[in-house]
Amino acid sequence: MLFESSRIYFRKMTEEDVPIYHKWRNELEVMRTTSSYLDVYTLAETQAFVEQVILGSGTSKSYMIIEKQTQAPIGITSLVQIDRKNRNAECIIDIGDKDYWGKGYGTEALSLLLDYAFFEMNLHRVSLQVFAFNLKAISMYKKIGFKQEGILREFLFREGAWHDLIQMGILKHEYNGKKLNDRGSGVG
Mean pLDDT of 11-32: 89
* Confidence (pLDDT) at 58: 86
Name 172's Cβ contacts closer than 8 Å, sequence gap at least 6.
Answer: 118, 123, 124, 125
Distance (Å, whole) CA 72 – CA 90:
26
- Is pLDDT above 90 for 53? no
Mean pLDDT of 122-151: 96
Percent with pLDDT over 70 in the chain? 93
Torsion of CA 122, 60, 56, 24, to 10 degrees: 140
Q: What is the mean pLDDT of the chain?
A: 89
